[in-house]
Amino acid sequence: MIPSPYFLYLGHSNDEIGIKTSRGLAVFRREDCVGEFRHDDCGLTLGLPRMSFAEAIAAGARTLVLGIANAGGRLGEDLVRDALAALDAGLNIASGLHQRLRDEPRLVAAAKAKGLTLFDVRDPAPDLPVGDGKRRAGKRLLTVGTDCSVGKMYTTLLLARALQARGVPADFRATGQTGILIAGDGVPLDAVVADFISGAIEHLSPARHDDGWDLIEGQGSLFHPSFAGVSTGLLHGAQPDALVLCHDPDRPHMRGLPHYQLPGLTECLEANLRTARLTNPDVRAVGIALNTAKLTPEAATRLCAETADAFGLPCVDPVRMGVEPIIDWMRTCEPSAPAATASR
């Protein structure tokens, strides 16, 4: 386990999506976060106290979480320099970047000298199985998206918490670095060798017999040329009974690919249902989740209502509006009912 309380790193970031790991911890584990570290040129904040490393130690912090994402997930020189300063102050370091902390000799030496620990979150288990597609007991919901970073993790976590609040057995199954840091365990799916992706999800979400739900965090998008392979394996391994489609209506193009436009909601929902039917022919859509953070409350309400009417499915912004309509749909629909289809 990564020692808490946490000190959240923003560094020089000015990309809202790029700090999603630090922001996710600030939202879902705020009680474990003492503050944030950012340089003067960072225009972002998590609403936590801005501190130096020494001040964070004095406030009780035990681990600096490098909660940022950059192209390729690399440890840049600025990041290494800040991590060395944090180690010198007495903080453990946790990172979910693709480049491992343990592969940077300066960090390894500094951690050893101080008796501290480097935590690489993006390390899959070494003995993951190959998927076999066999049906297993239990109910599973998977969030899917029109693009990366459109709210799949937030939606999944909020669905799990809403079910738990109703007394329904429910578990959040993390598949990315932020979700793993929040939940304390999971599978970093984008670091799993391709042959083992579906098997990793079968292992993450085994058979359950308590009439509860596994809420599985989605990754990537079937329509993102860089990450569609991960999304496909996840759909097959999850064997979802239910899908929730997540979308950012303000997104101008696929993340990182201005030459690729986002798919339409109908096209994306149908593609995900079709792909999921390989391992669960009875999969159904149970809702649409929109990230309306950049819309006015009135515009957000109107767009959700229009989308719900067009698709015959509940449509909400999970953060602004909650997820109760989707929960109601999940709980009242018969498992054998046909998959919902879009009207446009």
Neighbours of 114 (CB within 10 A): 14
* CATH of region 139-332, choose from 3.40.50.300, 3.40.630.30, 3.30.1180.20, 1.20.120.550: 3.40.50.300
Look at residues 213, 198, 129 and name the one whose alpha carbon lies nearest to residue 166.
213
173 DSSP β-pair partners: 216
DSSP annotation of 337: S
* Strands lying side by side in the sheet with 92-95: 33-38, 6-11, 63-66, 92-95, 118-120
Distance CA 123, CA 319 (A): 30
Domain with CATH 3.40.50.300 in the chain: 139-332
Domain with CATH 3.40.50.720 in the chain: 6-120
Return the pLDDT at 252: 92
Amino acid letter for position 135: R
Q: What residues contact residue 193 under an 8 Å CB cut-off, 6+ apart?
A: none
pLDDT in tens, the chain (344 residues): 899 999 999 989 888 888 889 999 999 999 999 999 999 999 999 999 999 999 999 999 999 999 887 766 777 888 899 999 999 999 999 998 888 999 999 999 999 999 999 999 888 888 899 999 999 999 999 999 999 989 999 999 999 999 999 999 999 999 998 999 999 889 999 889 999 999 999 999 999 999 999 999 999 999 999 999 999 999 999 999 999 999 999 999 998 899 999 999 999 999 999 999 999 999 999 999 999 999 999 999 999 999 999 999 999 999 999 999 999 999 765 444 444 433 33
Return the pLDDT at 333: 55
Look at residues 230, 236, 210, 222 and name the one whose alpha carbon lies nearest to residue 270.
222
Amino acid letter for position 42: C
Distance CA 98, CA 155 (A): 24
Neighbours of 74 (CB within 10 A): 11
CATH superfamily of 6-120: NAD(P)-binding Rossmann-like Domain (3.40.50.720)
